[in-house]
């Protein structure tokens, strides 16, 4: 069972159609933010972190440049800091 499957069992009380992210993505985004050294929500870029977290969870290398950069960032902390402009 991966992280998203685990959190997808939680009932989503939010209004349908007004949510940018799936409820199961939010803990994954928070985990990725924590692993990247994020201190609070406003210091993170949710879309970048979501894509980074999904790349980690899925374990797939894609030919898209963003995924290549995120995979490289997972291996190189200095590149990750540059990518996230920390």
Q: What is the pLDDT of residues 42-74, one digit of tens each?
A: 555 667 667 766 766 665 554 456 666 666 666
Does the pTM exceed 0.75? no
| Residue 54 near residue 24 (C-beta atoms within 8 A) | no
**CA dist 81 → 6, 11, 60, 73, 77 (Å):** 29, 34, 22, 8, 6
Which residue's structure tokens are 């200095």?
78
Paired tokens of 2? 């991966």
Local confidence band at 15 (pLDDT 50, 70, 90 cut-offs): confident
> Where are the domains positioned within the chain?
3-7+20-83
Return d(Cα 39, Cα 61) in angstroms, integer. 28
Please report the pLDDT score of residue 6 as a whole number. Answer: 73
């Amino acid at each position: 069972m991966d992280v998203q499957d685990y959190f997808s069992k939680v009932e989503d009380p939010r209004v349908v159609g007004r949510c940018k992210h799936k409820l199961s993505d939010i803990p994954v985004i928070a985990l990725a933010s924590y692993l990247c050294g994020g201190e609070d929500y406003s210091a993170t870029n949710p879309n970048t972190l979501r894509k980074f977290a999904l790349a980690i969870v899925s374990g797939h290398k894609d030919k898209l440049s963003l995924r290549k950069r995120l995979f490289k960032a997972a291996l190189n902390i200095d590149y990750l800091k540059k990518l996230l402009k920390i």
